[in-house]
């Protein structure tokens, strides 16, 4: 009898805990809502599991911050490349590099710290989105069901760990703050200004936050005028937003680059990036058919809500419409659209006749809905566990995409004590810098317009694709060795260098030979490098994540093995 009573009490307390934290009140089925939330969480975890490969951006961000710790100041000019660069090199994601550095090698946690940071950011994001949606009136059932609709565009930004993920969390936090503003709260604006300073030093996505606050201010002004029809009422409701505008503008100077940050930002925002896939329109995305179908459905639901929701409840409509345009134009902006859509549309739809009928239909089939959620939870968790969602990877062979890292090639160059200039692919250069700088300088990495002059990217693209005089880059710069990923068009064009015959070789002045080769990469080197030939064809190369994020890469260990340099150093041939 006591055991049964204790069990009943435990269930009641669990139900109260769930109801309190999900803000369910007494009007919703707690068990159904809890299972729906769990199904949503496990589905999202499964979605992001295959994005556990460490993004190349993290390496150039951490490399820069490590050099800043060694020098005592953030470098204003590029350190890592030997090809033409811009000056100053305004790295707007340096703050992300600082967080990633201390979460991994700085703390000694390595890859554990990295995945813990990612999971923390994802949990924070969803908690904020749920809170915003509930404040706006979203029913928990519709919040969970409708969120699945935008999963195909939400995945962008959840690589391990890119700066865009911080933007998504900041955006969700700002949406929450703006809901507080509609309820008469004002102190949040101080928190937002502090957040803005951190945001602009971590990712250029802070301009989305500026745009959102501008739309919000305009909506507040229009709402106050329509309700009261007096200018004094408008000023009473928006004075804090008006005063925040010049402070936010002044905050743009709170960065290591000062006034030089703004011209760079203007150039970067207006710059086209036709050679980078995530900057292409949505129909170039992965699984384009299902993505476009579900995106069209989500847009259709947005339009439906506009026609069946009272005007005063449609705050945020204009900004979400802008996000739709951004998502269609660029793949990478799909996640911004998804965040705002999840925060707004479930709340609008919950008040429509169709939305209410959906809720009643699901609640009437409570048992079947819970069973379906349980199946989804088990299936998605099994998928996530099977793919080791808790373990980031740095694979030397392609897994879920055509990209992989030159783990074996880097090991080889380090073991040979190579010092010189290495021509690198776009996605591999920052990893080489993280592992081999200052002995090795690279020709290109993922920083793109942050560090390199515009023609450098085009030259490397022609080389990799084997297009129009692709060989010219080999003679143009003082390159000592070339890192080439197998499977690219140029890899086949370089095969003649395996023999001593010059008949089939491209018309270049310098001579090259195969110094290293594994199943994914090979290295061409000039004879002057004296690199001994090595083949690891057919040999399994271990995942490089543990070594890449080991304490060996800390600034303290580096400081003990290299002399000090000037933070304004701009020589590309410097040997330390």
Q: What tokens does 310 get?
A: 């009272």
Alpha-carbon gap, residue 493 to 128, rounded angstroms: 52
Q: By C-alpha distance, which of 564, 567, 544 is closest to 555? A: 564
Alpha-carbon gap, residue 467 to 493, rounded angstroms: 10
User: How far, in Å, are 98, 166, 271, 377, 424 from residue 279 at the CA level?
Assistant: 26, 19, 11, 33, 22
Alpha-carbon gap, residue 273 to 204, rounded angstroms: 15
Tell me phi and psi for residue 422, to 5 degrees.
-115, 120
Q: What tokens does 20 get?
A: 């309190």
Q: Are strands 420-423 and 481-485 parallel, antiparallel or unpaired?
A: parallel
Alpha-carbon gap, residue 331 to 343, rounded angstroms: 20
Domain ranges for the chain, please list them. 407-553
The reply to whether omega before 88 is within 30° of 0 (cis) is yes
Q: What tokens does 198 get?
A: 């951190």
Q: By C-alpha distance, which of 153, 174, 144 is closest to 41? A: 144
Residue written as token pair 């379906």: 372
Q: What would the DSSP string read from start to end of 231-259?
A: HHHHHHHHHHHHHHHHHHHHHTT-STTGG
Question: Is residue 486 classed as helix, strand or coil in its secondary structure?
Answer: coil
Tell me phi and psi for residue 440, to 5 degrees.
-120, 135
Looking at residue 525, what is its pLDDT? 94
Q: By C-alpha distance, which of 264, 178, 255, 259 is closest to 213? A: 178
* pLDDT (tens digit per residue) in 97-131: 999 999 999 999 999 999 999 999 999 999 999 99
The reply to whether omega before 438 is within 30° of 0 (cis) is yes
Looking at residue 432, what is its pLDDT? 96
Residue written as token pair 């290109």: 444
Phi and psi based region of residue 110 (left: phi greater than 0; alpha: psi -120 to 50; beta: remaining): left
User: How far, in Å, are 113, 418, 422, 443, 528 from residue 483 at the CA level?
Assistant: 30, 13, 7, 10, 16
Q: What tokens does 268 get?
A: 């970067």
What ranges in 387-448 are assigned the alpha helix state H? 407-415, 429-436
User: How far, in Å, are 144, 353, 448, 470 from residue 458 at the CA level?
Assistant: 44, 54, 11, 10
Q: By C-alpha distance, which of 54, 110, 201 is closest to 554? A: 110
Alpha-carbon gap, residue 449 to 180, rounded angstroms: 38
Q: What tokens does 304 get?
A: 């439906």
Per-residue confidence in pLDDT tens, the chain, 576 aa: 555 555 556 555 554 545 555 556 544 578 899 999 999 999 999 999 988 899 999 999 999 999 999 999 999 999 999 999 999 999 999 999 999 999 999 999 999 999 999 999 999 999 999 999 999 999 999 999 999 999 999 988 898 899 999 999 999 999 999 999 999 999 999 999 999 999 999 999 999 999 999 999 999 999 999 888 889 889 999 999 999 999 999 999 999 999 999 999 999 888 888 888 888 999 988 889 999 999 999 999 999 999 988 877 788 999 999 999 999 999 999 999 999 999 999 999 999 999 999 999 999 999 999 999 999 999 999 999 999 999 999 988 877 666 789 999 999 999 999 999 999 999 999 999 999 999 999 999 999 889 999 899 999 999 999 988 888 898 899 999 999 999 899 999 888 877 655 555 666 767 889 999 999 999 999 999 999 999 999 999 999 999 999 998 988 877 655 433 333 333 333 322
Q: Are strands 481-485 and 440-442 parallel, antiparallel or unpaired?
A: unpaired
- pTM for this structure? 0.91
Alpha-carbon gap, residue 360 to 357, rounded angstroms: 5
Sequence-distant (6+) residues with CB within 8 A of 530 are none
User: How far, in Å, are 26, 51, 60, 267 from residue 264 at the CA level?
Assistant: 53, 30, 18, 5
Q: What would the DSSP string read from start to end of 494-560?
A: TGGGGSS--SSS-S-SS--EEEEE-SSEEEEE-GGG-PPPEE-TT-----SHHHHTSGGGSHHHHHT
Task: Tell me the HSE value of 383 on the side-chain side, using a 13 A CA sphere.
Answer: 14
Question: Cβ atoms within 10 A of the Cβ of 26, count?
Answer: 6
Q: By C-alpha distance, which of 449, 435, 385, 384 is closest to 405? A: 435
Sequence-distant (6+) residues with CB within 8 A of 233 are 224, 225, 227
Looking at residue 397, what is its pLDDT? 85
* pLDDT (tens digit per residue) in 513-527: 999 999 999 999 999
User: How far, in Å, are 301, 358, 376, 387 from residue 361 at the CA level?
Assistant: 18, 5, 19, 35
Looking at residue 565, what is its pLDDT? 36
Looking at residue 574, what is its pLDDT? 30
């Amino acid at each position: 009898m006591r055991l049964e009573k204790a069990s009943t009490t435990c269930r009641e307390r669990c139900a109260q805990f769930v109801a309190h934290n999900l803000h369910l009140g007494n009007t919703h089925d707690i068990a159904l809502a809890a299972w729906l939330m769990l199904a949503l969480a496990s589905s999202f975890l499964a979605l992001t599991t295959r994005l556990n490969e460490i993004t190349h951006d993290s390496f150039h961000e951490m490399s820069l911050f490590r050099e800043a710790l060694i020098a005592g100041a953030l470098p204003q000019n590029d350190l890592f490349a030997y090809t033409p660069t811009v000056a100053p090199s305004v790295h707007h994601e340096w703050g992300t590099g600082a967080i990633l550095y201390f979460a991994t090698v700085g703390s000694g946690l390595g890859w554990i710290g990295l995945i813990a940071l990612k999971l923390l950011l994802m949990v924070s994001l969803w908690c904020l989105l749920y809170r915003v949606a509930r404040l706006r009136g979203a029913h928990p059932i519709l919040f969970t069901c409708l969120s699945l609709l935008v999963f195909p565009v939400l995945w962008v930004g959840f690589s391990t760990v890119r700066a865009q993920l911080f933007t998504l969390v900041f955006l969700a936090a700002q949406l929450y703050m703006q809901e507080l503003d509609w309820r008469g709260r004002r102190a949040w604006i101080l928190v937002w200004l502090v957040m803005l300073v951190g945001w602009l030093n971590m990712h250029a996505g802070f301009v989305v936050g500026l745009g959102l606050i501008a739309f919000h201010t305009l909506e507040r002004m229009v709402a106050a005028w329509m309700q009261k029809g007096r200018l004094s009422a408008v000023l009473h409701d928006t004075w804090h937003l008006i005063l925040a505008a010049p402070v936010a503008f002044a905050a743009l100077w709170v960065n290591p680059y000062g006034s030089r940050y703004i011209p760079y930002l203007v150039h970067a925002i207006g710059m086209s990036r036709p050679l980078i896939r995530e900057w292409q329109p949505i129909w170039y995305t992965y699984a384009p058919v299902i993505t476009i179908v579900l995106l069209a459905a989500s847009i259709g639901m947005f339009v439906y809500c506009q026609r069946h929701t009272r005007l005063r409840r449609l705050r945020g409509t204009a900004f979400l419409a802008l996000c739709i345009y951004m998502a269609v134009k660029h793949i990478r902006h799909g996640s911004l659209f998804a965040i705002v859509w999840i925060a707004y549309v479930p709340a609008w739809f919950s008040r429509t006749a169709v939305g209410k009928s959906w809720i009643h239909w699901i609640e009437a089939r409570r048992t079947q809905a819970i069973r379906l959620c349980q199946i989804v939870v088990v299936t998605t968790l099994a998928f996530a566990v099977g793919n080791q969602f808790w373990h980031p990877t740095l694979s030397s062979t392609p897994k879920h995409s055509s990209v992989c890292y030159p783990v074996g090639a880097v090991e080889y160059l380090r073991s040979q004590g190579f010092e010189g200039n290495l021509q690198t692919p776009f996605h591999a250069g920052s990893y080489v810098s993280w592992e081999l700088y200052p002995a090795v300088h690279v020709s290109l990495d993922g920083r793109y317009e942050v560090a390199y002059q515009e023609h450098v990217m085009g030259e490397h693209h022609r080389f990799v694709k084997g297009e129009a005089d692709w060989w010219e880059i080999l003679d143009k710069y003082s390159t000592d060795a070339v890192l080439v990923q197998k499977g690219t068009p140029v890899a086949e064009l370089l095969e003649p260098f395996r023999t001593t015959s010059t008949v089939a070789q491209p018309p270049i002045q310098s001579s090259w030979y195969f110094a290293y080769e594994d199943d994914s990469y090979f290295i061409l080197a000039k004879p002057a490098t004296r690199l001994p030939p090595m083949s690891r064809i057919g040999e399994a190369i271990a995942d490089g994540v543990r070594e890449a994020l080991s304490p060996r890469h800390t600034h303290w260990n580096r400081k003990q093995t290299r002399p000090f340099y000037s933070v304004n150093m701009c020589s590309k041939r410097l040997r330390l």
